Structure 1
């Protein structure tokens, strides 16, 4: 069973985030803890210890949906379950559809900690991921990535036993049915990494461990579903448990779908190289024609000319020379820009 320690970092993520929601429910539907976005806003006359229940936070009719999924996961000894719930917005009593993954955190499968998020966010939420993954990257980058792309799910990794666990949502994305998820218990996400990308991922993981977490784990790679569908993802991770000798004992993180972003990048690269070659060919073709014009002007220069035609000839030679110099400068600058751009792509 997934212990409290193993998902505590995910709970902390929700507490510091306006995008994610968090709630802990007991078997009766009583709210044991939640973030400020769950439940009614207490008035000055409310008792501080006034209990909050499921029906205070979600549509009462959704309780049966929640209970059915909980009992189904409980009977199957599964670690978590997914459910969509209509969250009540207080004080206006409107509702918004939210997606949740609930984790069992007690041995009797009664108490569940849920992490959710709106299915149709209406404003740019502050994800607070800097709290979750200390210093992994620019916080604005994380906000952009999560709002513009698809959060696939969470993963756990035990470096000592080399075992890993993924959330139900991620398993379903990889093509596993509910029956397979229940039967297989722990499904390894590492087994779905594209073989060409696996060495780089292992290298970054080793550097993260070698620096005792000071070098954050952040890696883009391809994953292959059971149906051989390839998707690009970005993974952020953090080691949440170290032993006394400084060895990693538990690592946790999340996977985000960036397939559309990578498609755009690939198209831009191809478009860039096409334009580069086109510009190169056209520029050199123009220089060749200017060279021909200059050659003709040199021949005319040695022939007898009237003062007027001599003046016009000098103007043509001057303008042609300047055009040739401008083309030469443009080609040089274009080559330098291309080298700089390609170095940047290589670094990425």
Structure 2
């Protein structure tokens, strides 16, 4: 998958919200494409009559900052770079501080796709992610991942010929060298899926195809690079080309790194089970001691006592029964909450 095919995949996000911004700049700073939130209006899309440049979208003094970050990323062989820019708001010419991640999409590391958002948004999220993401996806999940520099790369899949293609960035992440990327025409990301996850991912992909796209393709799984590095990823995909008979001809999608998220989930799960067992043992240990106290009180009831002593024994017995009932209620609620939590975890998996 070459760089322009990759950008076409990401462009299918069809970002139209006031919060989420998109722009593509060439090496000279000319705007090749953008959403309606960038540049002057109405001449934004009329590139033939009046080309739009960096200084039409951002403060001209910010160009040095942008160029420094671009060159630094290029020299360090980074796939993308972050930069904060003062965006010009047309037509009132005010500015808004925005944060961007720019991805290299040309071989000379000059042309860059930028995805940005206001640093201090005045409005809540109002994200329109187009057809690439439908109602079955958690929009914020994808948006947050993109903004956190977790995008690994893009993929294409031709199910009729079982042929795959991946972007150079994804190929590098999987451990392929530059010469391998150029010499191997159809690198596969599916061949790198962890064997324990492969059947589940394959079934989810088949379900997407069988439902003619009505069931979205979204899957979390482990992917293994050539040097055996394991990375947890989430894959989003969509069928973008259909035959006249309704058969899928092409799927396009992207992979996002969720390794840190999974580490947190595993930590929470392990500690949940530890705390659950601890609470169970402590609760039943307390109930055992309460039962011992009640047994002693029953023995004492068989003997005669002074009125004041009997009164105190009755109070102790009542309070002990109330404590036992509270413990039983707490144990029952804890079991119910645990079952609900485990069902949620199983549903996410």
Q: Which runs of 5+ in 2 are unaligned?
A: none
Q: Which residue of 2 is the match for residue 138 of structure 1?
A: 138
Q: Deviations over 1:33-70 (max 9, x none)?
A: 43346566789xx998123457877948959x89xx9x
Once the 2 structures are TM-superposed, how far is the Cα of residue 30 of structure 1 from its aligned partner? Answer: 5.9
Contact in 1 for aligned 2:205/2:217 (Cα 8 Å) = yes
Distance 2:98 2:145 in 1: 26
Q: Secondary structure at the match of 1:197?
A: helix
CA RMSD of aligned residues (A): 3.8
CA deviation string 1:172-201 (max 9, x = no partner)? 222233333233343211111111111111
Could you tell me whether the CA contact under 8 Å between 2:197 and 2:222 is conserved in 1?
yes
Alignment map for 1:90-129 (pairs within 5 Å): 90=88, 98-102=101-105, 115-117=113-115, 122-123=119-120, 128-129=128-129
CA distance in 2, matches of 1:42, 1:11: 21
Partners of 2:47 and 2:338 in 1: CA distance = 67
> Relative to structure 1, is the Cα distance of residues 199 and 103 closer, same or farther in structure 2, using a 3 angstrom cutoff?
farther
- TM-score, length-normalised on structure 1? 0.77
- Given that 2:240 and 2:250 are in contact with CA atoms closer than 8 Å, whether structure 1 keeps it comes out as yes
**Structure 1 position 319 matched with structure 2 position 322:** no
In structure 2, do the counterparts of structure 1 residues 239 and 47 end up closer, same or farther at CA, with 3 Å as the change threshold?
Answer: closer
Gapped runs of 5+ residues in structure 1?
70-80
CA 1:88–1:174 in 2, change beyond 3 Å: closer, same or farther? farther
Q: Could you say which residue in structure 2 is the equivalent of 1:248?
A: 248
Aligned residue for 1:244, secondary structure, equals: coil
Q: Is the 8 A contact 2:232 2:262 kept in 1?
A: yes
Tell me the residue number matched to 2:304.
304
SS of residue in 1 equivalent to 2:105: strand
Aligned to 2:336: 336
Shift of 1:19: 4.3
Residues 155 and 252 of structure 2 are in contact (CA less than 8 Å); yes or no, is this contact kept in structure 1? yes
Contact 2:97 2:120 in 1 (8 A): no
Match runs of 1:260-275 below 5 Å: 260-275=260-275
Which piece of structure 1 moves more, 258-267 or 48-57?
Answer: 48-57
| CA gap 1:275/1:208 in 2 versus in 1, 3 angstroms | same
**CA drift at 1:169:** 1.9
What is the aligned length? 324
Q: Alpha carbons of 1:97 and 1:340: their partners in 2 closer, same or farther (altered >3 Å)?
A: closer
Sort the Cα spacing of 1:20 and 1:224 in 2 relative to 1 into closer, same or farther, 3 A: farther
Query: Scaled by the length of structure 2, what TM-score is found?
Result: 0.77
CA distance in 2, matches of 1:115, 1:327: 59
How big is the shift at 1:167?
Answer: 1.6
Match of 1:182 in 2: 182
